[in-house]
Chains A and B, each alone.
Chain A
Amino acid sequence: MKTRKIKLFTAVAASLLLASCGPQTNNKKSGGALSSSAAEKVYVAPGEHDEFYAFLSGGFSGNLTVYGLPSGRMLKEIPVFSQYPTSGYGYSEETKPMLNTSFGFVPWDDAHHPDISQTNGELDGRWVFINGNNTPRIARISLTTFETEEIIEIPNSAGNHSSSFITENTEYVVAGTRFSVPIPQRDMPIKDYKSNFKGSLSFISVDPEHGHMDIKFQLMMPGFNYDLSHPGRDKSHGWFFFTTYNTEEANTLMEVNSSQNDKDFIAAVNWKKIEEYVNNGGGTMMPAEYAHNVYDESTHTATTTMKKEVLTVDPLKVPGAVYFLPTPKSPHGCDVDPTGQYIIGNGKLSADLTIHSFDKMIAAIEAKKFDGEAYGIPILNFDDVLAGTVKSGGLGPLHTEFDGKGNAYTTFFISSEVVKWKLGTWEVIDRKPTYYSVGHLMIPGGNSRKPFGKYVVAMNKITKDRYLPTGPEMEHSAQLYDISGEKMELLIDFPTHGEPHYAAGCPADLIKANSKKIYRLDENKHPYAILSPDQAKVERKGNEVHVYMSTIRSHFTPDNIEGVKVGDKVYFHITNHEQDFDVPHGFAMIGQNTSELLIMPGQTKSSVWEPKKVGVWPFYCTDFCSALHQEMQGYVRVSPADSNIELSWSLGDSDEE
C-alpha cells in the first residue's frame, strides 16, 4: 500500500512536470479566435442552423440536454429521470408513471451515457438511450418528439454505469452494474462480499419497430465492478466488452483496496452465443421486481407495468461465451474502433493505454491459451491479446473516440488534455489542453462504424475561471475542437448543464426533417380529451371533480367554474386545441402543490389541485401564447365543504348587455 501511494505520487509529480514544460505553452496569448479564424468556424448566423445535434447527458440533473454544434448553443433540455417543472414532466398525471420504480416514485436520477440508435453500425437518428445510474434504469427518448417515451428499471443491478450502449442494429441496449450486490438481495454481513456478491450484465432487447425494451437476459458475473462497456463493431459484432475494476472484491476503502491488483480485466462477452442459448430455452427465470414505464403518444399518457421475473444466465453454462482480458490499472473507458479490431482499455491510474486485438483474442481462444481462470471464467494471456500500448505521456486516460480516418482521441483526466494518436502505430500525433480535468469526449458517430470526424467535444469536470464566476457552484464546461486537420484546434468553450458525462452527436440532417411540429388533435385518444370546446364540462364523482377543459388563443373553456368545495380533489384535464407549430399553452392554479403544465398543440395533460381555502381563485396560462396572453385566465369559486352550491361552468356569460 505504501509503495502504491509513492508510485501514484511520482506519477502525479511527473505529470505536473510534463504539464509545466509540455504542450500547454502555445496557448492563452496566441491571439485566440480571431487570428486562427476559430470565430468564423463556430459562427452560425442568426436564423441559420447548426450542422450537428449533440445530446449531452445532464448527469445529476437526471436529464438530457440538446446542443447545436459548432455553435455550442443549447437547444433544449429533455426531462428523462427527473421531474421538470418547465413542462410538468413527472408532475402531470400523465407523466408521473414514467418515474415509477420498484422502490416507488423516484423523481430523480443520475443520467450518464446517451447513445443513439444504429443500423448496420451507423447512426440512424431514431432514438437516443440513456442510463439512470442511481436507481438502475434505462430510458429511450424519441428523436421525432424529443420526449422520453420509455423507462425500464434494471433489477439485480446497482450503480448502473456500464450502460446504455447499443449494438450495431440496435438489437440490444446493454446495462452493466457498477456495484456488485447480493443476488437476490438479502440480509447478510457486508464483509462477506467476496465470492457472495454478483455483478449482473443486462441485455435489453429493443423492438425494431417501436423501440420497446424488454430484458432478454442478465448474465451473472463475479462480484467485480463493471465500469464501462462497448459493443463490438463490424468484425467483432456479436461481442460486447466490459471494463472491470475491483477484481480484488474489496468492500471498504475502495480507493485503496480496489487498486491492489496490477491488472484488472476487460470482460469479453459473446452475446450472440448467449442469445442462441437463451433462444433454445437456456437460462434460469428468477423472481424479480422492476418497473416498465411506457408513454403512449396517442393517449399522451404513460403507464407502469410491474414485472415479476427476469431470465438469468450463468456464464459457466455457456462455454465459449465469456473471457477475461487482463488490462492494467483499473481501466475505466472501454472503446472499440470503427473496424472492430481494437479494444481500448483506458487505465485510469496509468499513463498508458492498453489496446487489445480482436483477431489475437479469437486466435488465443481457439488455441485455448489461457492463463488460469477467475470463478471458472478463462483468463487470456495479456501478451497474447495485446495489440499495442500508447505511451502517451499524459496521465489518467479515461475515454477514447475515433474520427474514422485511422485516428483515436483519448481524454486524460489528471493531465487535463485530449491526445490524438494513430491506430496501429500507436504514435502520438497531437495533444491539446482542456479546461479542466476532462471526462468523456465525443465525436459525432465517434463510437460507431461511421464517425463524422469534424469536431470533438471535450466535457470537463472542473470549470474554475473559464467563465464569469457564479459563486461556489459553476456549470461544467465543454470545449469544441476542430479535428479536420492534422493538429486539433480549440474553437470555443461553452457551459453545459448538470454534469455531462458522455454525449452522442449526429448530423442534423439525420434528425431535423423528422422533428414533429404538432400532435394531431384528431388523433388524440386521451380518455379525458375534448376535441371541441362545446364538449367542455365539469363532472363530480364523490369528492373528485374532473374539469374537461380546452385552450385556444386566448381563452380557456370553461373559464368560470363554481360548485367546487374545500376538500375536493380537482383534476384539470386540458386539451390544447391549437394546431399550429410552437403554440403551447400553460396552466397554473394558485396554491397548487405541483408544477405548471405546458401543453403542446393537440395534446392533453392533467393537473391536480386540492383547494384548501374558501374563496374565488384564479388560474392562468403560463406561456406567453399570444397578444392576448394576459387575458388568458379564469376563476374557480371554492365554497365550504358543507356548501350546497351546484357545479356550474361557463365561458363568455356576462350580465351586462
Chain B
Amino acid sequence: MKRLKILIPILGIVLLGACNNAAPTQEAEPSPTNTLDKTEGQAFVEDDVSNPNLLQVAIKSADHSTLVAAVQAADLENALVNAGPLMVFAPVNEAFDKLPAGTVEDLLKPENKDALANILKFHVTPGKYTKDFLKKFKKLGQANDQSVKVEVKGDDVYVGGAKIIASVEASNGIIHVVDAVMLPPTE
C-alpha cells in the first residue's frame, strides 16, 4: 500500500502533466494509466467512514453539478481523490452559465476531452491553503502547468479573476467555491 501510495500521486502528476493540451509536445505518449478501466482507481474505493474527499464534496453540492459532469467527462475523478493535498477552485453552475452559449456543451463532447481537462486542471493547485493564507501568494502554479494570478481586494481574494465566495474542507484538500470559470491564458 505504501508503495502504491507513492506511485499514485506521482502518476497523478505525470498524468496531469502529460495531457497538457495547451502546450502539446510531439513525444507525449498516452500514459499507461490512461488504460484504467472507468470503474477502477481510488475514486471507486468503498469507504463510508472517512471524511468526504474533494470529489465526494463536489458531488454532494447541488451548485456544482456542471463541474462534476465536466470532471466525469474528462475522466478526472481519480485525480481528485488521491492523497493530494489539492486545492480546487470550483465554479458554481451559474459561472458556467455565464460562458458564451454552447461553450459547455461543446467542451463536454468526447472529441474535446483534452481541452476540457486542460481547463479543469487550471482550477486545481497542488497544495492546500485557506483563503486567508492565499493572501500571502501573488500567483499559484496550477495542475495544467500554467500559473494563475492571485489578487487581494479588501477582504476578498480573486484567483484568475474569479472571486472566492466560500470554502469547504475535504479530507484530501480544500474547495474554494468561485463565481467564475477561470480560463487558462493562451500564449
Contacts and interface: CB of A to CB of B under 8 A. Distances in A.
Interface of A: 47, 517-518, 552-554, 578-583, 601, 623-628, 652, 654, 657
Contacts of B173: 553
Q: Which 5 A-B pairs have the closest CB atoms?
A: A580-B171, A553-B85, A579-B51, A517-B49, A627-B9
B5 A624 contact: yes
B91 interface: no
A182 B152 CA distance: 80
Contacts of B83: 553, 583, 625-627
A67 B49 CA distance: 25
Contacts of B61: none
A652 B171 contact: no
Contacts of A625: 5, 83
A580 B53 contact: yes
B131 interface: no
A580 B51 contact: yes
B49 A628 contact: no
Contacts of A554: 85, 127-128
Q: Give the one of B12, B82, B126, B127 with max A CB within 10 A.
A: B127
Interface of B: 1-2, 5-6, 9, 12-13, 40, 45, 47, 49-51, 53, 82-86, 126-128, 133, 136, 171-173
Nearest to A521: B51
Given A580-B171, A627-B126, A628-B126, A518 B85 contact: no
21 contacts: A47-B40, A517-B47, A517-B49, A517-B50, A553-B83, A580-B51, A580-B53, A580-B171, A580-B172, A582-B1, A601-B50, A624-B2, A624-B5, A624-B6, A625-B83, A626-B83, A627-B9, A627-B86, A628-B126, A654-B136, A657-B136
B9 A626 contact: yes
Contacts of A657: 136
Given A626-B83, A627-B9, A652 B133 contact: yes
Nearest to A651: B133
Identify the interface centre among A518, A552, A626: most chain B CB within 10 Å of its CB: A626
B171 A628 contact: no
Contacts of B50: 517-518, 579-581, 601
B85 A627 contact: yes
Contacts of A652: 133, 136
A274 B80 CA distance: 62
Nearest to B3: A624
A87 to B, nearest CB: 12
A579 B86 CA distance: 15
A380 B108 CA distance: 85
Contacts of A623: 2
Nearest to B40: A47
Nearest to B45: A581
A256 B120 CA distance: 79
Interface of A is mostly: loop
Contacts of A47: 40
B18 to A, nearest CB: 16
B47 A581 contact: yes
A589 B2 CA distance: 21
A581 B9 CA distance: 16
A628 B127 contact: yes
Nearest to A76: B1
Contacts of A627: 9, 12-13, 82-86, 126
Nearest to B173: A553
Nearest to B7: A624
Interface hub of A578, A580, A582, A583 (most chain B Cβ within 10 A): A580
A552 B129 CA distance: 12
Nearest to A624: B6
Contacts of A580: 50-51, 53, 171-172
Nearest to B135: A657
Given A580-B172, A581-B49, A657-B136, 11 more contacts: A517-B49, A553-B84, A553-B173, A578-B171, A580-B51, A581-B47, A601-B50, A623-B2, A625-B83, A627-B82, A627-B86
B144 to A, nearest CB: 15
A654 B137 CA distance: 12
A196 B9 CA distance: 66
A654 B45 CA distance: 40
A615 B2 CA distance: 33
Contact of A518 (B5, B6, B49, B127): B49
A533 B127 CA distance: 17
Contacts of B126: 627-628
Contacts of B84: 553, 626-627
Contacts of B6: 624
Contacts of A626: 9, 83-85, 172
A627 B8 CA distance: 9
A524 B185 CA distance: 47
Contact of A579 (B5, B82, B128, B171): B171
Contacts of B40: 47
A441 B170 CA distance: 47
A581 B172 CA distance: 11
A627 B16 CA distance: 13
A578 B53 CA distance: 11
B136 to A, nearest CB: 8
A553 B172 contact: yes
Contacts of A583: 83, 171-172
B51 A628 contact: no
B47 A628 contact: no
Contacts of A579: 50-51, 171
Nearest to B85: A553
A47 B13 CA distance: 22
Nearest to A601: B50
Nearest to B82: A627
A443 to B, nearest CB: 28
